[in-house]
């Protein structure tokens, strides 16, 4: 009798595992964005169930398997995506890089896209006109220009009428010239804050009434440098850290309206944010002209001349495939329970963990070694 009961429980364990696996596979097919996570979470119940069976026997093994299935199901339910339907999303900085790729990606999925561009007659805007559907609307939108932000709000409101705006993706940003914080002119600090922080705040505040109507999503594209201190990114990192903190506070404050807020901290991706060689020459000239003689002497000419070569080498260490960032933003826009923070890309999460949970001296040592390896020293 005991053997029969044990056999029945064993078959029951197997049946639950198979049923759960089939369900997860079905969800993965419907939700390719979270496919990797779904597969991982489908393996956990089976592994935990086998462990419980081996250690605790069939009865408690079944209990452990059911419990792990419930936990996994809770996670998978949060990862399920809402249907696109006729949801409308505003994206800033759509001329190039992540914003440009995101506008194409969301348009291909059926979103109504409002692509804000710095230059409505530029090559990036023209490419969007040629390659995207009629659903996509181009908006002349310099986010540091309050008049253009208000005009964009007026155009979006008129087109959507009473349906509301589902998402705002604050993507527009500038890098500035990567150099030691002491060397950077104050104009670089002010420009980074103006674009990366104040511009994003103005766009958010302006469009929040439309997000409130739809109980939609606010997604802020920050940076790995906005979560951890990185040498040569004092101006850029400070502006992105301000944006990340703004995201966290708004996530708490806007939850009562049903608006969900997420910050994206990508690692190094090849987006063209560093600008053109003409811009580098201009920024380098400005930096050199503003250096006091004693500071110039302390750093040395060789070091100062090497700053531009560092900038030129940056693309070689960046990933050209933007799909991890696009998938993270899509999840933030459509997941039933989106994360507050996303860290797409190689090496984005590990340094953040070390910074948060290890002594600072260890983090500093880790970053110095990581940068030395990336620069071939």
Q: Residues 91, 111: contact at Cβ < 8 Å?
A: no
CA pair distance 213, 258, nearest whole angstrom: 10
**Residue linked to tokens 């809770």:** 74
* 156 phi/psi in degrees, rounded to 5: -65, -45
Q: Which of 153, 236, 342, 363 is catalytic?
A: 236
Instruction: Tell me the helix, strand and coil percentages in the chain, rounded to 5.
Output: 65, 10, 25
Helix axes 323-334, 97-109, angle to 10 degrees: 60
* 236 assigned to active site: yes
Q: What is the DSSP letter of 314?
A: G
CA pair distance 152, 142, nearest whole angstrom: 10
**Residue linked to tokens 């790995």:** 224
E-strand stretches of 171-240: 217-221
Helix residue ranges, H only, 57-145: 58-79, 97-109, 123-131
Q: What is the dihedral of CA 63, 64, 66, 71, to 10 degrees?
A: 140
Report which secondary-structure segment, H or E, holds 137. strand 137-140
CA pair distance 78, 83, nearest whole angstrom: 14
Q: What is the DSSP letter of 122?
A: S
User: Which tokens go with 98?
Assistant: 């992540």
CA pair distance 144, 299, nearest whole angstrom: 34
Q: Cα–Cα distances in Å, from 309 out to 175, 188, 277, 314, 317? A: 16, 19, 11, 9, 13
Judged by DSSP in three states, 259 sits in: coil
User: Which tokens go with 86?
Assistant: 């006729």
Q: Which residues are catalytic?
A: 236
């Amino acid at each position: 009798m005991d053997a029969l009961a044990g056999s029945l429980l064993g078959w029951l364990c197997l049946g639950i595992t198979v049923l759960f696996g089939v369900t997860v596979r079905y969800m993965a097919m419907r939700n390719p964005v979270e496919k990797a996570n779904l597969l991982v979470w489908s393996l956990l119940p089976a592994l935990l169930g086998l462990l419980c069976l081996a250690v605790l026997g069939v009865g408690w093994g079944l209990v452990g398997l059911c419990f792990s299935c419930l936990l996994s199901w809770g996670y998978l339910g949060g990862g399920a995506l809402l249907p696109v339907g006729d949801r409308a999303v505003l994206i800033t900085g759509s001329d190039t890089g992540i914003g440009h790729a995101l506008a194409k990606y969301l348009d291909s999925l059926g979103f109504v896209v409002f692509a804000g561009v710095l230059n409505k007659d530029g090559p990036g805007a023209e490419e969007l006109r040629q390659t995207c559907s009629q659903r996509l609307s181009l908006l002349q939108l310099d986010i540091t220009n309050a008049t253009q932000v208000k005009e964009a709000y007026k155009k979006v409101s008129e087109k959507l009428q009473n349906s509301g705006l589902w998402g705002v993706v604050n993507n527009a940003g500038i890098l500035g010239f990567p150099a030691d914080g002491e060397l950077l002119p104050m104009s670089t600090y002010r420009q980074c804050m103006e674009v990366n922080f104040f511009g994003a705040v103005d766009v958010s505040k302006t469009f929040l009434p439309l997000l409130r109507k739809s109980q939609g999503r606010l997604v802020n594209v920050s940076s790995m440098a906005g979560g951890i201190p990185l040498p040569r990114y004092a101006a850029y990192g400070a502006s992105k850290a301000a944006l990340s903190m703004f995201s966290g506070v708004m996530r708490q404050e806007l939850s009562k309206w049903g608006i969900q807020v997420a910050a994206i901290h990508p690692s190094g991706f090849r987006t063209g944010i560093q600008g053109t060689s003409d811009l580098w020459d201009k920024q380098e000239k400005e930096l050199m002209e503003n250096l006091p003689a004693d500071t110039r002497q302390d750093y040395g000419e060789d070091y100062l001349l090497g700053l531009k070569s560092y900038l030129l080498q940056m693309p070689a260490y960046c990933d050209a495939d933007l799909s991890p960032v696009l998938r993270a933003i899509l999840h933030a826009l459509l997941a039933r329970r989106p994360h507050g923070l996303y860290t797409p890309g190689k090496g984005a999460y590990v340094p953040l963990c070390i910074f948060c949970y290890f002594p600072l001296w260890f983090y500093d040592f880790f970053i110095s070694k990581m940068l030395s390896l990336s620069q071939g020293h």
